[in-house]
Amino acid sequence: MINISDNNKRIAKNTLLLYGRMAIMLVVGLFTSRVVLAALGIRDYGIYNVVGGVVSLFAVLTGAMSITTSRFLTYTLGEGDKRKLSVTFSTSVNVHILLGVGIAVLMEVLGVWFLNTHLNVPKERMWAANWVLQFSILTFVINLINVPYTSIIISHERMNIYAYLSLFDVFVKLGIVYALYVTPYDRLITYSIFLCASNLLVQILYYVYCKRSFEECTYHFIVDKPLLKEMFEFIGWTFWGNAAVTAKDQGVTILLNIFFGTTVNAAQGVATQVNGVVNRFIQNFMTAVDPQITKFYSMNDRDNMYKLIFRSAKFSAFLMLVLISPILMHVNSILGVWLVEVPEHAANFVCLVLIYSLIECMLNPLITALLASSKIKAYEILITITYSLNILSIYLLFKIGSFPEMAIILNIVFKLIVLGILSNQCKRNFSFPAQKYFKKVVGIAALISCLSIVMIVVYKNVVTKTTIPSFIVSCILMEMILLSFMYIFGMESNERIFIKNIINNKILKRK
């Protein structure tokens, strides 16, 4: 039986490890991308991205396979059947090898043809672009085969190892940047070779660690037909759902371009970048939580699973509010300092996209639970229909002359519909208390969000000019008031006692 207190401590520890990993990767990544651009030059950097983009078209499939592998390994781990876990791991490796080889063959035929006949690459650099394509395909296959190894580490909640190997990968790529300046050979080809080699090296480290640490990671060529059939069916429906989400996102971008031009696309791009940074915090938190939700489901421990879903969804929303409230309050000032030229509509897009993500973070624990049940067919069909209506609604409103922000407003409305569909599916499949969830999680998050919006509106009406002191003071006051609201309105009595004990034991005793 899982110890709940130890579970909570493990979640907190793993979350902090992943936050540290993210912070370092973010700083090094920003520096690396800047220096790589300088080393390769604009033309070769563009070639690398466009050729790599051809291969990344299969990222939707990779995402579906990663979700499937994590679900099956974590579920089996929760059951405690070591033999079944070993079979599941080996079957997962077989599936990834099979699909990796299939995708490689497909890319060798279609990718090479598309590159040489349709992509706009200077003739004198076409030979280099073909080398980039070959090493990009190889890198993709290496990363694909590595999925079962990263998944088993996350399933075992060894986030320290996951963080260390990720950081090793980042610093190896930093070394590659230096190598670009000293190599006497073609920098674009050298960069592709070194990236492929670094991914292979990291894959070997994952393999060695997993083989030494987990007995189920001794690979056997096993063909478990029932499991194989179940995994491919799961991959198919997950791929369907991921494709629907990707089509919706790309459809919004295309519609904005058709009706309003590239300036609005630039505003959308700025909003996406800001949202991406904020969302990484939530994703790291959920990476630490997801394995335990799946394990509780596999152990048929519904009560603890419900409690974890409620708390993780609520605290994800709280964390998101803490992160986005200062941005919403000072969005114009932040964009003005960050960007040389702020695209029109950028501030509105940033605010709306962050609100969209606030809703989305409350879906994540429910999605994990539904995936654990493996009963996802109806949900994937329903969200495909919903997102299709989402795109159709945006098109019709743009056709009659609506403003660009309406696209994100409709995304928010349809995301709330998806939340209703998801909670209803969870209720149907494993008696999830959906009504209580809306009251205890969604309702509380909505209340605190409204209170924070009121504070932001009042501040903007009172303070007309932002200075550095007013920026710092207003952010501190905003966070203090927001945390007070969360403590008073958003926490249950046992959660307040837990916070008080931390303050008494960890802070006041040191004084």
Cβ neighbours of residue 280 closer than 8 Å, sequence gap 6 or more: 22, 26
- pTM of structure: 0.83
For residue range 218-273, list pLDDT tens digits in order: 888 877 888 888 888 988 888 888 888 888 888 888 898 889 887 888 888 888 87
User: What pLDDT is stored for residue 33 in this prediction?
Assistant: 66
Percent of the chain with pLDDT over 90: 29
CA 267 – CA 264 distance, rounded (Å): 5
Mean predicted confidence (pLDDT) in 347-364: 92
Mean pLDDT of 104-124: 83
b/e sequence 189-203, b meaning 16+ C-beta within 10 Å: bbbbbbbbbbbeebb
- Residues 74-106: tens digit of each pLDDT: 998 888 888 899 999 999 998 889 888 988 898
pLDDT band at 179 (very low <50, low <70, confident <90, very high): confident
Dump the DSSP string for 306-324.
Answer: HHHHHHHHHHHHHHHHHHH
- pLDDT digits 0-9 by tens, 318-332: 988 988 899 999 998
pLDDT in tens, 361-397: 999 999 999 999 989 999 999 999 999 999 999 999 9
Q: What is the pLDDT of residues 409-468, one digit of tens each?
A: 999 999 999 999 999 999 999 999 999 999 999 999 999 999 999 988 888 888 777 788
Length of the chain: 511
> Could you give phi then psi for residue 2, rounded to 5 degrees?
-80, 135
Highest-confidence range of 138-142, 278-282, 425-429, by mean pLDDT? Answer: 425-429
What is the structure's pLDDT at 511? 47
- The torsion defined by the Cα of 293, 441, 239 and 99, in degrees rounded to 10, comes to -30
Greater confidence, 347 or 62?
Answer: 347
Per-residue pLDDT at 9: 64
Is 334 within 8 Å of 327 (Cβ atoms)?
Answer: yes
Which tens digit of pLDDT belongs to each residue from 468-504?
A: 888 889 889 999 999 899 988 888 887 777 677 656 6
Mean pLDDT for 335-348 is: 84
**Other CB atoms within 10 Å distance of the CB of residue 100:** 20
In 3D, which of 456, 466, 491 has the Cα closest to residue 336? 466
Q: What pLDDT, in 10s, does the model give residues 182-218?
A: 777 888 888 889 888 998 998 999 999 999 998 888 8
Characterize 471-480 residue by residue with b for buried, 16 or more Cβ atoms within 10 angstroms of its Cβ, and e for exposed: beebeeebee
Summary mean pLDDT of the chain? 85
pLDDT of residue 412: 95
